[in-house]
């Protein structure tokens, strides 16, 4: 049957990336984390996704035939489309009606995709928020879901673990822990405890050391933890770090905060480096930045510290009130180590939002 334009409906969501301070690395079952994690949701590094959807006359006969198209920056992206189709198949037990719909996603990122910045958290959370909104608008969930964010977080987790944290703004935890009321391995939660003001205006300068795609995909990396000789120690360390971090946040203890954040980053890379030859992701420039950050902290007494994703780029965390001094330091001492002097000026953000149709 020819397309009838009027059949199509749409919804658009903007969802941010997040940076973990306590890292999730190692999983089991259906994308369940082996330790709790804690992240900051960013503001400027976002994915914007428009979902156009319409009902099919007949459901597709087989889940392999789901009707989905994925466009990135105005071009059909078949590699990511396959990833999205796989994700949708994983959602079928929760969203069985997906076989009766045609879906078309159109996405863009604010951050250049040549920066090697992981976009799975922002892209998977944006896709999921669109789906959950569509489900609500079409009345497809019976009884209707009360807490849309929680449902989106639970479903986004199946697309990419860290995506479940991007559904909320500010400080977010994911993974069951006795210290955190309401914590779950299945979905993330915004940090309930009042976070003192001093931690609410952190900034994140993302220093692009190398924009190549990473050699170890997240799923391969998580997989390498299953037989890793340090695994049990790592999971104990992560819980201990979370405990220390929660106390540090409450007590305004900057020294512990910095120690925990940097130790988490280096532990992640320690695990990576000792799991596979491809796990040596840090580059000489990453280490030069790390050393320069530590020397700058020593010299100025400012609260600056680094963290890392599973890649060579360095995230520099600092306070908004120190912006002028820190950004001068970045310009003068860190950009020489960055690829084409590239960096992303980001900060803690309020989480995803829906773009209303004008």
Among 14, 16, 17, 23, indicate the residue that binds ligand PMV (CB under 6 A).
23
Nearer to ligand PMV, 50 or 309 (CB): 309
DSSP letters for 211-239 = -SPPSS-HHHHHHHTTT-TTHHHHHHHHH
- Give the binding range for ligand PMV (CB under 6 A) out of 22-30, 66-74, 290-298, 341-349: 22-30
Among 35, 160, 210, 307, indicate the residue that binds ligand PMV (CB under 6 A).
160
DSSP letters for 5-52 = GGG-EEEEEEEEEEEEEEPP--EETTTEESS-EEEEEEEEEEEEEEEE
Nearer to ligand PMV, 161 or 334 (CB): 161
Q: Taking the mean position of all CA atoms in its chain, how far away is CA 226?
A: 22
- Give the binding range for ligand PMV (CB under 6 A) out of 106-114, 141-149, 159-167, 178-186: 159-167
Q: How many residues belong to the chain?
A: 358
> Binding of ligand PMV at residue 189 (CB under 6 A)?
no
> Binding of ligand PMV at residue 16 (CB under 6 A)?
no
3-state secondary structure of 292: helix
User: Quick one: which of 189, 175, 169 has its CA closest to 23?
Assistant: 175
Residue 125: CB minimum distance to ligand PMV, A: 10
Torsion angles phi and psi, residue 225, rounded to 5: -75, -20
Query: Which residues between 78 and 137 bind ligand PMV (CB under 6 A)?
Result: 120
Nearer to ligand PMV, 24 or 72 (CB): 24
Using the CB atoms, write b or e for 117-147: b if 16+ within 10 Å. Answer: bbbbbbbbbbbbbbbbbbbeeeebeeeeeee
Nearer to ligand PMV, 24 or 329 (CB): 24
Nearer to ligand PMV, 111 or 329 (CB): 111
What tokens does 38 get?
Answer: 């804690």
> Binding of ligand PMV at residue 168 (CB under 6 A)?
no
- Binding track over 270-309 against ligand PMV, x by CB under 6 A: ---------------------------------------x
Compute the C-alpha angle 129/101/135, nearest 5°.
35
Residue 222: CB minimum distance to ligand PMV, A: 6
> Binding of ligand PMV at residue 34 (CB under 6 A)?
no
> Binding of ligand PMV at residue 41 (CB under 6 A)?
no
The Cβ-side half-sphere exposure at 244, using a 13 Å CA radius, reads 18
Residues making contact with ligand PMV (CB under 6 A): 20, 23-25, 37, 120, 160-162, 218, 268, 309-310
């Amino acid at each position: 049957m020819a397309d009838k334009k009027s059949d199509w409906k749409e919804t658009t969501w903007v969802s941010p990336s997040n940076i973990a301070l306590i890292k999730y690395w190692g999983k089991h079952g259906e994308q369940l984390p082996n330790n709790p994690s804690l992240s900051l949701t960013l503001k400027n590094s976002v994915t914007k996704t428009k979902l156009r959807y319409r009902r099919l006359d007949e459901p597709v006969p087989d889940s392999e035939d789901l009707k989905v198209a994925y466009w990135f920056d105005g071009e059909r992206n078949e590699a990511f489309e396959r990833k999205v189709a796989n994700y949708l198949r994983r959602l079928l037990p929760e969203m069985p009606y997906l076989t009766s719909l045609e879906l078309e996603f159109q996405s863009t990122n604010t951050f250049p995709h040549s920066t090697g910045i992981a976009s799975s958290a922002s892209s998977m959370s944006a896709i999921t928020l669109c789906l959950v909104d569509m489900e609500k608008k079409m009345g497809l969930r019976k009884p209707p879901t009360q807490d849309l964010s929680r449902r989106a977080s639970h479903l986004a987790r199946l697309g990419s673990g860290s995506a479940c944290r991007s559904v909320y703004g500010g400080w977010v935890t994911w993974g069951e822990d006795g210290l955190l009321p309401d914590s779950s391995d299945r979905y993330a939660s915004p940090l309930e405890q009042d976070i003192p003001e001093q931690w609410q205006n952190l900034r994140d300068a993302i220093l692009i050391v190398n924009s190549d795609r990473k050699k170890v995909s997240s799923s391969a990396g998580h997989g390498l933890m299953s037989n890793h000789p340090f695994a049990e120690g790592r999971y104990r360390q992560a819980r201990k770090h979370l405990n220390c971090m929660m106390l540090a946040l409450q007590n305004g203890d900057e020294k512990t905060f910095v120690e925990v954040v940097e130790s988490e980053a280096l532990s992640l890379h320690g695990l990576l480096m000792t799991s596979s030859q491809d796990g040596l992701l840090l580059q000489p420039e990453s280490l030069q930045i790390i050393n320069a950050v530590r020397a700058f902290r020593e010299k100025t007494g400012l609260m600056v510290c680094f963290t890392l994703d599973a890649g060579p780029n360095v995230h520099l965390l600092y306070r908004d009130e120190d912006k002028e001094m820190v950004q001068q330091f970045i310009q003068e001492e860190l950009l020489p180590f960055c690829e084409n002097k590239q960096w992303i000026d980001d900060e803690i953000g309020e989480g995803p939002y829906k773009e209303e149709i004008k």
